Structure 1
Amino acid sequence: MTSSLRDTKRAATRRALADATYRRVREHGFDGVTIEEITTDVNVSRRTFSNYFANKEEAVAFVPVDRIRAELEEWVVPEQADIPTAVRSVVGHLMNSGLPLLLAELDRLGRSHTPFGPHAREAQWAVWEAVGDRLRAELLIDDPRERRNLAMLLGALYGIVSARLAESEEAADLAAVQESVAEVFTWLEPAIRGQAGAPGAGGVDRR
């Protein structure tokens, strides 16, 4: 088996184990699911599970990040987009693809199962890191000022979305999440665009 085929098979096994864990945990809770049930679903051994994940919490946390990365591959950057336009575009794409529901589910599982809390927070941040990685690659951002602007915008989005989810006592208010995302752009877009037009500000040719 070639290296690429082996890597593809390993990725498929990891995804299958994570998806099976996520599906069962959503239905039965962490305490209502055993690793043996998960490995039976995927037709692999418990040792195989341990080769990919240390525990059920780690497997569940893998799912939303993996799904968002797949969605990011489908996103197409608008032509000649500046940072705010590109961020608006990719966040809109992810919102339409179910990002709020995924983040809300992470938050819900973290509240219902305390050991999952750190995994949930790490996965939530990993989602925004993946967004940043894709934007930096697509926009070829090398200028330090622009890198800081992107980090500021993504950090604000992560913070406000996390805060909105934490405010919800039960089901997340997804409309409030989307409203808060829009507010972040309202607050920060003018400042970022103002910096881009300031004397000495570096520009990036994205043609």
Structure 2
Amino acid sequence: MATGDGAPLGLRERKKQETRAALSWATIRLSVERGWDAVTVEDIAAEANVSVRTFRNYFSSKAEAVVARHIDRMLHVADDLRARPADEPLPEAVTHAVLARFAPEPGADRSPRSREFLSQWVKGIRLMLTEPDVQGEFFKADLVVQRELATAIAERIGTDVARDIYPSLVAAATGAAATVAMDHWLRSDPTVPIGVILSDALDRIWAGLPVP
């Protein structure tokens, strides 16, 4: 784990990020299992084995905690883009950076029982994402992510977001592709791997969105 400039994190900062991630996962997991309104901040803190005060130090609400995983993942896309080979064309570099953050965990269970669990999990996520507070936090997070990704793109192509609209356009299109792909994945039946959908979405964008 590293900072945005590639330097390794210190122990204290690493522990803070681990606590943040644990709280975000606990919020998502409990909300999917019990329903949004049935989960309290006290429940989340207990699930993550921390105090309510610690939760409040990281997040102002359940919705902010839910969105934390999304924003952290997408900010890492910008970090990954900066680490791609300098001679790699921008479309390939952006696509690789995005897909790397949506790849399945190594050793993921693909058994029928696991697929049934995934189906139930997706239904829970879908319901949680209908909550207005969660939708609002996603909107705010996407603005932050787009700015950071646009900056990374500008650095890569040797321009400046203050005078060139191109990096911001690419960042916005990339973020839209991720959002649409995730929504399509949540609604697909049977479930299609998110990486397949996202790769297709990015390919279409880079091709100029030709009419099928």
Q: TM-score, normalised to structure 1's length?
A: 0.65
Equivalent residue for 1:44? 50
Equivalent residue for 1:110? 129
- Of 205, 208, 212, 1:184 maps to 205
CA distance in 1, matches of 2:93, 2:186: 33
Contact 1:71 1:94 in 2 (8 A): yes
Give, as a single letter, the amino acid of the residue that structure 1 aligns with 2:66: V
Per the TM alignment, residue 41 of structure 1 is displaced from its structure 2 partner at its CA by 1.9
Deviates more, 1:45-54 or 1:166-175: 166-175
> Which residues of structure 1 form unaligned runs of 5+?
99-103, 189-207
Deviates more, 1:170-179 or 1:63-72: 170-179
Equivalent residue for 1:87? 94
Per the TM alignment, residue 67 of structure 1 is displaced from its structure 2 partner at its CA by 3.2
Equivalent residue for 2:15? 9
Per the TM alignment, residue 130 of structure 1 is displaced from its structure 2 partner at its CA by 4.2
Per the TM alignment, residue 97 of structure 1 is displaced from its structure 2 partner at its CA by 5.4
Contact 1:110 1:120 in 2 (8 A): no
Equivalent residue for 1:154? 171
Per the TM alignment, residue 140 of structure 1 is displaced from its structure 2 partner at its CA by 6.5
CA RMSD of aligned residues (A): 3.7
Q: Percent identity?
A: 24
Give, as a single letter, the amino acid of the residue that structure 1 aligns with 2:51: S
Q: TM-score, normalised to structure 2's length?
A: 0.63
Cα gap change, 1:121 to 1:29, in 2 (>3 Å) = farther
Would you say 1:25 and 2:31 are equivalent positions? Answer: yes
> Which structure dedicates a bigger proportion of its chain to helix?
1
Equivalent residue for 1:192? none
Would you say 1:57 and 2:42 are equivalent positions? Answer: no
Give, as a single letter, the amino acid of the residue that structure 1 aligns with 2:46: T
Per the TM alignment, residue 31 of structure 1 is displaced from its structure 2 partner at its CA by 1.1
CA distance in 1, matches of 2:24, 2:75: 15
